[in-house]
Amino acid sequence: MSGRGRVRRESGQAAIVLLAVVAVLVVTISLAVAAMGRTTIDRTRAQTAADAAALAGLEGGSSAASRLAARHGATLITWTEIGDDVTVTVRLGETTATARATDAP
């Protein structure tokens, strides 16, 4: 066999290996971006649930805060009322968020 045929066959194998490496990198990067997107969405949803629960807690207390957090898919972890201020912490999946609402002017 001539040296020229071997070089051509080896360069074809290198192209296949390079293509496989690029495909693995694309899949890995896509999965990382998707995970970051899910984390950002969970954080936003948890903060929205905490904000709503804190506002509900001003008028209806802990039970109202818990119900509103549940409507947003979250669980009320803590509820604290000090004077005109209500502070809540909620958990949505692996994410927690805290919010404060006040009746003070």
| pLDDT, tens only, 38-78 | 888 999 999 999 999 999 999 999 999 999 999 999 999 99
- Considering the chain, what percentage of its residues have pLDDT values greater than 70? 90
pTM over 0.75: no
Place of tokens 């899949």: 27
Query: What CA–CA distance (Å, rounded) separates 28 from 44?
Result: 25
State residue 35's pLDDT score: 84
Query: 13 pairs with which residues across the strands?
Result: none
The dihedral through the CA atoms of 54, 56, 61, 64 has a sign that is: negative
The lowest-confidence range among 39-43, 74-78, 90-94, 99-103 is 39-43
Residue range 3-7: average pLDDT? 56
